[in-house]
Chains A and B, each alone.
Chain A
Amino acid sequence: MVILVCVLGLLGVSTIHAKEPDPRAGVLAAEVRSLGWIVYSARSLRGDWDLFLMRPDGSSIRNITRTPEFNEAAPRFSPDGTRLLYRRLAKDEALDHDRYGFAGEVVISDASGANPRPVGGPGELPWASWSPDGEQLACLAPRGIEILDLRSGRITRRLSRHGIYQQLSWSPDGRWLCGVSNCFGELWTVVRVNVETEEVNAVNSYQNCTPDWFPDSRRLLFSFRPPSRTGYGWTQLWSADGNGENLGLLYGREGRHIYGGVASPDGRHVVFTSCGSDGGGADREGAPMHLMRLADAPMIQGRSSELREQVGAASDGPVLALPGGWEPHWTFAEIPPEAGG
């Protein structure tokens, strides 16, 4: 392990946390190894945040930005997997788990990280999210949700924001937007907005964030910290239908805060970060990432006595341990190797 870390350090790659000794994890790793690529932010050995690609089993890690003068964060593949959208910050600009979508400038690059091109200026295009055809971005502004045409650079439409203030995401089928909102009298409510009618509904209220879509655009996954008898409580990964029905736990573990959940493009697996302190690790080195099968949900690990009492029957694994990182995203598209690699 020490030799491996040293070799990877020379290559400027993110650190790897020791895999959990669960033999089922090996089966899971083999199952996902060839299923495209996961992109994520992580600290380089120089201390700045770069973007990394890896196979879903944690192999073939490579740094695709290598920019000591910048921090790069919150990467999202375009729906066809050929491009990346991310935020590029000055090196001394801190990452914040709740406000990263406002930070730095939006950059669009090839999925390999090549040819980065800034779009807009610092602080502009907050919470930019790809349209299904990759030709537009939905962004948050105080005046409303703005739809930007990438070719013309013009705002082509403005929708009511319905109190959404962070983590905006456009559904794969283009019919919906979701985000974290003040709507319905409760802050930290995940809401869904109909793009055509602008009608809004709550998906889940009270202490939710980082919502994202399943590929069927009918369900969402999000982080949720339910009320706890014992005090602050622990953030878990949950899912619900877009209309708020069928709310259910995906993964929880008392002692860990679960954030950044993203589904695989076929909706069969999910990747998330698992952090010992609240905040997702944006102020440190990110947090260990994990991968699980959605067929194994609900999953509860650790003692987690209060959660087990609340949820009832749950599986205990397997979970595949992945490198430390932050806000991952997954594509099944093949990404060309580095030039010369």
Chain B
Amino acid sequence: MKRGAGLALAALAVLAPGLACGPGPLGEPAVASTRPSSAEAAREVAARGSVEVVAELEEIPGLGRWDGEFPSNDLGYDYAYVVEYRVVRVLRGEVGGETLLVAHYNPRKPRYSAADSRCPGVGGTLGRLRLGDRHHLALEQPIDAHYMGPLIDEYFDEADHRPIHWAVWTDRSDE
């Protein structure tokens, strides 16, 4: 539910790899929102999370509920949104199939400005999630161990109950 704008954004001096996304102290200043350099991005995506993949964004379900756009973050309304990727290449860890469900935090925001007091450990160089684009992702799972907040999951009913991965770092991939 939308709320009055009472949140203050968190600031972190260091974004610890694999930092769980949950309650952080309120009232801390905002994180930096400049896009990381290529060198920094390469280091982060290789070090964070337990899974590293290149994958193509195949489906963003349910956007019709919100007029074709991810829901806004007005009034301090934070959430994560589950999308589906087709796996192109696994660089680290294991994935269970050819497709992946991935939750992105506050997907309207560029990855490099998505981190806040609720989720200080997310980042990346990606500006916008667009169907058909390929992304270089560092992931964690299960999502419940890494994120505690509102989640929009249109795949909830599916029979095979694929696990949802938590996107820790997301870059655009030219692969």
Binding site for B on A (CB under 8 A): 89-90, 92-99, 101-103, 122-123, 126, 140-144, 161, 163, 165, 182, 184-188, 207-209, 223, 225, 232, 235, 277-284
Digitize B110-134: 1 where CB-to-A-CB distance is under 8 Å, 0 elsewhere.
Answer: 0000000010000000000000000
Distance of A167 from chain B, by nearest CB (Å)? 11
Residues of B within 8 A of A140 (CB): 148
Q: Do the beta carbons of A96 and B6 come within 8 Å of each other? A: yes
Tell me whether A142 and B4 are in contact in the complex, defined as CB-CB below 8 angstroms, given that A93-B25, A187-B152 are known contacts.
Answer: no
* Contact status B4-A281, CB under 8 Å: yes
B75 and A278 contacting across the interface, CB-CB below 8 Å: yes
Asked if A126 meets B23 with Cβ closer than 8 Å, knowing A185-B157, A283-B5, the reply is: yes
Q: Does B76 contact A (CB under 8 A)?
A: yes
Contact sample, A vs B, 26 pairs, CB 8 Å cutoff: A94-B6, A94-B26, A94-B27, A96-B3, A98-B76, A102-B23, A103-B25, A103-B26, A123-B23, A123-B25, A126-B22, A141-B148, A142-B144, A144-B144, A161-B144, A161-B148, A163-B151, A165-B148, A182-B153, A185-B153, A187-B150, A188-B1, A225-B1, A278-B2, A279-B75, A283-B6
Is the CB–CB distance between A96 and B154 below 8 Å?
A: no
B1 touches A207 (CB 8 A): yes
The distance in angstroms between the C-alpha atoms of A171 and B5, with both chains bound, is 31
Q: A161 to chain B: which residues have CB within 8 Å? A: 144, 148
Q: In whole angstroms, how far apart are the Cα atoms of A299 and B75 in the complex?
A: 28
B residues at A contact (CB < 8 Å): 1-8, 20-27, 75-76, 79, 118, 144-157
Give the one of A96, A123, A278 with max B CB within 10 A.
A96
Cβ–Cβ < 8 Å partners of A284 in chain B: 4
* Closest Cβ neighbor of B62 among chain A residues: A185
Tell me the smallest distance from the CB of A128 to a CB of chain B, in Å: 12
Interfacial chain B residues near A123, Cβ < 8 Å: 23-25
The residue of chain A having its C-beta at the shortest distance from the C-beta of B156 within the complex is A185
Residues in chain B near residue A102, CB distance under 8 A: 22-24, 26
Contact B8 A99 (CB under 8 A): no
Q: Shortest CB–CB separation between residue A220 and chain B, in angstroms?
A: 16
* Contacting residues, chain A, for B1 (C-beta < 8 A): 98, 188, 207-209, 223, 225, 235, 278
Q: Is the CB of A279 within 8 A of B145?
A: no
- The answer to whether A282 and B144 have CB atoms under 8 Å apart is no
How far is B2's CA from A142's CA once the two chains are assembled, in angstroms?
23
Q: Are A142 and B20 in contact (CB under 8 A)?
A: yes
Bound-state Cα–Cα, A281 to B4, Å: 7
Contact B27–A184 (Cβ < 8 Å): no
A161 to B5, CA, bound (A): 27
A169 to chain B, nearest CB (A): 16
Once the chains bind, are A187 and B76 in contact (CB under 8 Å)?
no
With both chains docked as a complex, state the minimum distance between the C-beta of B106 and any C-beta of chain A, in angstroms: 13
Q: Give the CA-CA distance A157 to B146 in the complex, in Å.
A: 20
Cα of A222 to Cα of B33 in the assembled complex, Å: 37
* Residue among B5, B118, B150, B153 with most chain A CB within 10 A: B150
Which residues on the A side are within 8 Å of B153 (C-beta)? 182, 185
| Given known A90-B27, A96-B76, A126-B23, contact A188–B150 (CB-CB < 8 A) | yes
| A92 in contact with B27 (CB, 8 Å) | yes
From the candidates B26, B151, B157, name the one contacting A93 in the complex (CB within 8 A). B26
Q: A126-B22, A140-B148 are in contact. List 10 more A-B contacts (CB 8 A).
A: A94-B6, A95-B6, A103-B25, A126-B23, A142-B148, A144-B144, A161-B144, A182-B150, A283-B4, A283-B6
Give the distance to chain B from A177, nearest Cβ to Cβ, in Å: 15
CA of A173 to CA of B8, assembled, Å: 38
Residues of B within 8 A of A143 (CB): 145
> Once bound together, how far apart are the Cα atoms of A141 and B20, in whole Å?
10
**CB proximity of B50 to chain A, nearest CB, Å:** 15
Cβ–Cβ < 8 Å partners of B7 in chain A: 94, 96, 99
